[in-house]
């Protein structure tokens, strides 16, 4: 058997479909907003008393039973048959155009024998008013419109506000997800790279090295952001270093201090358990500088 054809066969992935993880994350976030804002309730309806909604079915029920006649009858005797007309044929003009243009608003001109349409069709005023009620007069529908409108407003506002904040976003909810993989400084900088990440329980430290920014005070410096992974869009602390961060670690309890190693072979310790930050600049075993900064 010649396998040369299958060996030389190639698969071109140039136009293969790809998954946009950012779009999937945005759709999941908007779904959570919509689910939390709109409250669903259980409604029970008796099908026997349920009114027809379709306009065509309503016409068939209310105005489609006229002009019925009994053509003939058989008495049971083979030698005798009789033709019987039980009622006169009523001629009426009925519209199927919506909205209706007649005074009653129901698309019927007249009843030939002078009988009122309520008596003829056994219709109560309550049933007629039920079908004449517009959707915007329904309390539940107005509530839904107001809530849905607020949802769209929140989505549009959040889309513009998220671009200006430090953010930690979940990439996807699928089982093969790499987890929290998107880190952003928003409009604060034009270009930055992540140099170090430290994860401990619910704490996540991310070090950004700022390469390009309109703010000259932070260019070629590192920004260390502490996130609580349960609150990804609200940083807990923000630290600024004068050089590129290569490594970092925390104290054994994870809350009292942070130790940072810079590209210039300098180690910085930060005491964060009190109302003030104590920064110690160390080179080897010698303590060179110690400063005190108040928390922002």
Instruction: Measure the CA–CA gap between 225 and 192, rounded to whole angstroms.
Output: 13
Nearest to 296 by CA among 273, 278, 277: 277
The pLDDT value given to residue 164: 46
Mean pLDDT value of segment 72-92: 57
Q: Quote the pTM value.
A: 0.36
Percent of the chain with pLDDT over 90: 0
**pLDDT tens-digit readout, 159-199:** 555 444 555 555 544 444 455 556 767 777 888 888 888 88
Measured CA angle at 26 (ends 22, 28), to 5 deg: 120
Mean pLDDT value of segment 267-285: 51
Query: Which regions of the chain does DSSP assign to beta strands (E)?
Result: 73-74, 81-82, 167-170, 180-184, 191-200, 203-212, 222-228, 237-241, 245-250, 257-262, 267-271, 276-283, 286-294
Greater confidence (267 vs 226) lies with: 226
Residue 178 tokens, joined:
């790499």
State phi, psi for 203 to the nearest 5 degrees: -90, 140
Instruction: Measure the CA–CA gap between 267 and 244, rounded to whole angstroms.
Output: 12
Judge whether 267 and 255 are in contact, CB under 8 Å.
no
Instruction: Measure the CA–CA gap between 248 and 236, rounded to whole angstroms.
Output: 17
């Amino acid at each position: 058997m010649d396998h040369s054809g299958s060996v030389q066969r190639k698969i071109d992935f140039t136009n293969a479909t790809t998954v946009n993880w950012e779009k999937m994350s945005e759709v999941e976030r908007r779904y959570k907003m919509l689910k939390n804002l709109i409250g669903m309730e259980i409604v029970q309806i008796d099908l026997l008393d349920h009114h027809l909604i379709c306009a065509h079915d309503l016409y068939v029920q209310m105005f489609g039973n006229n002009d019925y006649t009994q053509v003939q009858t058989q008495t049971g005797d083979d030698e005798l048959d009789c033709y019987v007309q039980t009622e006169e044929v009523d001629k009426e003009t009925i519209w199927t155009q919506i909205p209706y243009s007649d005074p009653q608003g129901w698309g019927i001109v007249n009843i030939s024998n002078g009988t009122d349409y309520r008596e003829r069709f056994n219709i109560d005023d309550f049933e007629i008013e039920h079908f004449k009620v517009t959707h915007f007069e329904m309390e539940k529908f107005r509530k839904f419109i107001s809530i849905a409108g607020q949802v769209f407003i929140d989505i549009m506002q959040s889309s513009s506000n998220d671009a200006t904040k430090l953010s930690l976003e979940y990439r996807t909810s699928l089982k093969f997800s790499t987890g929290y993989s998107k880190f952003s400084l928003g409009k604060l900088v034009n270009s930055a790279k992540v140099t170090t990440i430290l994860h401990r329980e619910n704490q996540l430290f991310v070090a950004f090295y700022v390469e390009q920014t309109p703010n000259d005070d932070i260019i070629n410096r590192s920004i260390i952001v502490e996130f609580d992974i349960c609150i990804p869009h609200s940083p807990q602390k923000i630290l600024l270093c004068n050089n590129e961060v290569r490594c970092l670690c925390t104290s054994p309890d994870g809350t009292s201090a942070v130790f940072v190693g810079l590209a210039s072979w300098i180690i910085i310790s930060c005491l964060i358990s009190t109302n003030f930050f104590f920064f110690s600049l160390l080179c080897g075993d010698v303590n060179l500088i110690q400063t005190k900064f108040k928390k922002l």
